[in-house]
Amino acid sequence: MDDVIMRALRRSSLFDGIDSGAFGETLEGLGATVRTYSAGELLICIGEQVRRAGIVLEGRIRIDFYDEAGNASTVANMGMGGTFGEAIACAEDPSIVQVEAVGDCRVLWLDMGRLTSQRTLAKSPCAGVVMMNTLRMLARKNMMLNRKMQMLAQKRMRDRIKLYLLVRDAGNATDNADKDMNRSDLARYLSVDRSALSRELSRMRDEGLVMLDGTQIKVLDRRFLEA
């Protein structure tokens, strides 16, 4: 097992509470495989039956939902240690989202069906810990989606930005890479026009609410988030 895989597993919520010395047997019990993807390549397609969960080892992936008109809305961005696909695999339903490699990336895939196998649980006791972690992750991601719905329900763009920053700074953006998003990524995540987003952020900067440093947004006036 290379150092990159070790670092990613330590950062993955799926492996919380598992000693690094047990990573090898746990991965073996879950039928782990590693695959490399190029920028723009799809990891999960809409309508695909998925039985595996992925952990990002290197690079970044984006999870998108498409409406009937073909317009994309970003559900989440994930970097090293980000885990995805577990909800689709556990539900055993066709995927309603698309997962795409933002740049070149490497992903560790785990067979989630093995978590319910007595043979797997007997051979790798840590598989039970992975199962409990999966339940916690599903609960957290459900809350994350509820917050995203709350954000999209806001009519004013500034209110969407405020809720995004509030969640981001509270550390509730589970397994994502939101702080690495550029303006186009953020506009896609907030479901707004990129130019309109840039204008609103510039107004917020001029009002002393935030500081803009490249793609980074730093909140200067915490009262703005609390209002």
Determine the Cα–Cα distance for residues 9 and 129; give it in Å rounded to an integer. 14
Q: Is the pLDDT of residue 72 over 90?
A: no
Q: What is the pLDDT of residue 167?
A: 82
Most confident of the following: 17-21, 32-36, 111-115 = 32-36
Angle between helices 183-190 and 157-169 (to 10 degrees): 110
The stretches of the chain forming alpha helices (DSSP H) are 3-11, 23-29, 86-91, 118-123, 126-152, 157-169, 183-190, 194-206, 222-226
Q: What is the mean pLDDT of residues 122-134?
A: 80
Chain segment 21-33, per-residue pLDDT in tens: 999 989 988 999 9
Calculate mean pLDDT across residues 173-188.
Answer: 70
Is residue 94 within 8 A of residue 48, CB to CB? The reply is: yes
Q: Are strands 98-101 and 61-66 parallel, antiparallel or unpaired?
A: antiparallel
pLDDT at 66 over 90: no
pLDDT confidence tier of residue 62, bands split at 50, 70 and 90: very high
Residue 127's pLDDT is 80
pLDDT at res. 121: 61
Q: Report the pLDDT averaged over residues 85-103.
A: 91
Phi, psi of 18 (to 5 degrees): -105, 125
In this structure, of 36-45, 128-137, 166-175, the range with the lowest mean pLDDT score is 166-175
CA R_g for the chain: 19
Residues above pLDDT 90, as percent of the chain: 48
pLDDT for residue 145: 82
Say which DSSP state 47 is in: T
Residue 95 above 80 pLDDT? yes
- Which is nearest to 127 in space by CA: 109, 140, 114, 108? 114
Amino acid 171: pLDDT? 60
Q: What percent of the chain has pLDDT over 70?
A: 91
pLDDT of residue 119: 66
Asked if pLDDT for residue 174 goes beyond 50, the answer is no
Which run of H or of E encompasses 190? helix 183-190
